[in-house]
Chains A and B, each alone.
Chain A
Amino acid sequence: MAQELPYLRETASQTAGPYVHIGLAPGAAGFDIYEKELGWDIAGPNAKGERIRVEGLVIDGIGSPVKDVMLEAWQANSAGVYAHPEHAGEVEEGFRGWGRVITDFDTGEWGFDTIKPGAVMGRDGRMMAPHINLWIVARGINIGLNTRLYFSDEETANASDPVINIVEWEKRRQTLIAKRQVRDGQIVYRFDICLQGDNETVFFDI
């Protein structure tokens, strides 16, 4: 027998199941237990930049909204800095850059309030267009799905984004672009995620 390499193996993923809310959003499951539930305030009160709302549906291969999804968002601040010790630069006090959101049990709609992130330096010194990283888990999803949300009003930056451009099919790139609209004076980006089928969202192996 050849020698063995010294690495451990990653723990296998399993579905989050239909009751993910008990652990990660117990208020939605129907009970109040924690003094502070995590993930409901992404940007905090001091964040600079444009205040936005992001919302959408997650749609299954039948075309039906998925009503038991949990999404997590990870984003930079308006200057393109992540709230992480390895990323150079400062973020505003209270800016976490991470959020957790669940879908409405009746409609499947989800949404969160944040600030629009700035462009982030990518590989090779190439700037990435402003984007929010999303991670999606639910009953029936065996391993969390990673995607990115880009913004429809960043056409120039999107056109040169190194990640969008590795998606070979131009038609599929559109699935990563959230549509900007203004509703009652508030800026809202619509981002529907199709798990399967004709308009299937691009998912990444990161």
Chain B
Amino acid sequence: MKPGEFYQRDRSMHPPAYTKDYKTSVARSPNYALISLQNSASEITGPTFGHNDIDPMDKDLIHNYASNGACAIGERIIVHGRVLDENGNPVPKTLVEIWQANAGGRYRHKKDTYLAPIDPNFGGCGRTLTDENGYYYFRTVKPGAYPWRNWVNNWRPAHIHLSVFGTAFAQRLITQMYFEGDPLIKTCPILNSIPDADAVEQLIALVDMNATIPLDSIAYKFDIILRGRRSTLFENRLEGN
């Protein structure tokens, strides 16, 4: 059996477009319903990436923007996990990209004017390909919380943004990873845009003592689940299948 269409996305678990407490969504959310589209070749295919697209150093944020011999300031962490689909199958050789603020909550972006300083040895982005088992890891520093103009006194919990491709345009996903025990998690309008409590929990990474490097780095485990696929096409044969 060849893989076919992707399972319908459960949009009652994802954040809806309009979430009034996250104010920017008010004018950027469509009013009309989405038009449901059964998968064609356009949706079940997507870009592929190879090792010549990226450098092995790209996944080490502690060093990938640091001067020779220097490293980023902050709590040294490893972020690792697997990219799986809803069937529990690994998604190998897929591109995972991350970006984040530095240890003080400052982004290296010309539009970020927060008064916490830039770390001269920290860029804040990384990328890697999953291995044949869907496994990935990054080395970085734990990002700080930072304030943003939503309510007068809103602070984002510490978080890392993640972008994942999967094997198809239908699986494309951007999300954010949070850290176990962060008290800001429950007050965040962006995280609370997700209506499903279990889905929120799924974005919170646990400390993984077994993956730490003693006297070097703490580890957090974060698995990413992409849409699964049917193993047969019940209706019509799609081109390429």
> Nearest Cβ distance between residue B96 and chain A, in whole angstroms?
10
Known: A26-B125, A86-B240. A13 touches B14 (CB 8 A): yes
Which of B24-32, B68-76, B213-221 lines the interface with chain A? B24-32
Q: Is A140 an interface residue (CB 8 A)?
A: yes
Known: A122-B40, A196-B27. A142 touches B45 (CB 8 A): no
Q: Are B175 and A203 in contact (CB under 8 A)?
A: no
Chain A residues positioned under 8 Å from B99 (CB to CB): 19-20, 22-24
Q: Are A14 and B191 in contact (CB under 8 A)?
A: yes
Kindly identify, within residues 114 to 143 of chain A, every residue whose CB is under 8 Å from any CB belonging to chain B: 120-125, 128, 131, 133, 135, 137-143
Q: Are B125 and A22 in contact (CB under 8 A)?
A: yes
Q: Which of B11, B26, B35, B202 is within 8 Å of A11, CB to CB?
A: B202
Q: How many residues of A contact B (CB 8 A)?
A: 82
Q: What does the 1/0 interface line of A47-88 toward B look like (CB < 8 Å)? A: 000000000000011100010100010101000001111111
Q: Are B172 and A144 in contact (CB under 8 A)?
A: yes
In the bound assembly, the distance between CA atoms of A142 and B65 in angstroms comes to 30
In the bound assembly, the distance between CA atoms of A200 and B95 in angstroms comes to 32
Q: Are B241 and A10 in contact (CB under 8 A)?
A: no
Chain A residues positioned under 8 Å from B14 (CB to CB): 10, 12-13, 142-143
Kindly identify, within residues 34 to 80 of chain B, every residue whose CB is under 8 Å from any CB belonging to chain A: 34-49, 53-55, 58, 64-65
Q: Is A9 an interface residue (CB 8 A)?
A: yes
In the bound assembly, the distance between CA atoms of A87 and B228 in angstroms comes to 19
Q: What does the 1/0 interface line of A1-43 toward B look like (CB < 8 Å)? A: 0000011111111111111111110100111011110100000
In the bound assembly, the distance between CA atoms of A17 and B224 in angstroms comes to 19
In the bound assembly, the distance between CA atoms of A139 and B189 in angstroms comes to 13
Q: Is B174 an interface residue (CB 8 A)?
A: yes
> Nearest Cβ distance between residue B108 and chain A, in whole angstroms?
6
Show 30 A/B contacts (Cβ-Cβ < 8 Å), sorted by A: A7-B7, A7-B87, A8-B86, A9-B10, A9-B225, A10-B9, A10-B10, A10-B173, A11-B175, A13-B173, A14-B193, A15-B25, A22-B99, A23-B126, A31-B123, A33-B123, A35-B55, A36-B53, A38-B49, A38-B95, A61-B26, A82-B41, A84-B48, A86-B3, A86-B44, A120-B239, A141-B28, A166-B37, A197-B31, A204-B36
Residues in chain A within 8 A of chain B (CB atoms): 6-24, 26, 29-31, 33-36, 38, 60-62, 66, 68, 72, 74, 76, 82-88, 96-98, 105, 120-125, 128, 131, 133, 135, 137-146, 148, 163, 166-167, 172, 195-197, 200-206
